Amino acid sequence: MRGNAGVLIGILDEQIILTKRSANLRSFTSQVCLPGGKYDDLDGGIVATAIREFHEEIDFKGNIDVIACLFPEASIVSGQSVYPIIANLSGMINGFNQDEVERLLLLDMHLLDENLFSVNPDYPNIRHNRCFNFAGERVWGLTAHILYEFWQQYINK
């Protein structure tokens, strides 16, 4: 599993939890992302990685009910295979780790539709070229691509 990462598409009250990464981090600074990170040998699996990283970033008390895992996507930037884990959450967010997260964003699932996503004019010819604007932020790259795939496979049936 080395060279892999897990991200959590955490659904709480029909909202997907996104984070804006801290400007102090070494990678993907100030970008809007799904909570997640690199696999660690102690995790025992990529689902555990996504959940561990979620808890490192977000102070969440409650249950995480894993529903499915989307096919992994190769990150153009890091070279990692990123596994999106879909989970229903029941509980409460009490805050976030300010060393890693600048702000939390809650994306209403009803906003996910064909009209939300557009082709990123800065990168029109790459695979992960989707983007959208939300809560004053641009969501793009792998995060937008994963959310588009989630919409295609689980919502737009």
CATH code, domain carrying 95: 3.90.79.10
Q: Which has the higher per-residue pLDDT, 54 or 82? A: 54
The residue range of the domain holding 82 is 4-110
Single out the residue of 25, 128, 123, 135 nearest to residue 84, CA to CA: 128
- For residue 15, being part of any structural domain is answered with yes
Sign of CA dihedral 59, 19, 81, 24: negative
Instruction: Determine which of 45-59, 98-112, 115-129, 137-151 has the lowest per-residue pLDDT on average.
Output: 115-129
Confirm whether 74 is domain-assigned. Answer: yes
Percent above pLDDT 70 for the chain: 85
Is 127 domain-assigned?
A: no
> Look-up: residue for tokens 């906003």?
111
Of residues 84, 103, 105, 106, the one with CA closest to residue 152: 84
Average pLDDT of the chain is: 87
| 17: pLDDT strictly greater than 90 | yes
pLDDT band at 128 (very low <50, low <70, confident <90, very high): low
Of the two residues 107 and 124, the one the predictor is more confident about is 107
Residue 116's pLDDT is what? 86
Report pTM.
0.89
Residues 6+ apart with CB under 8 A from 38: 4, 5, 49, 53, 80
How many domains does the structure of the chain reveal?
Answer: 1
Rounded CA-CA distance 138/156 in Å is 22
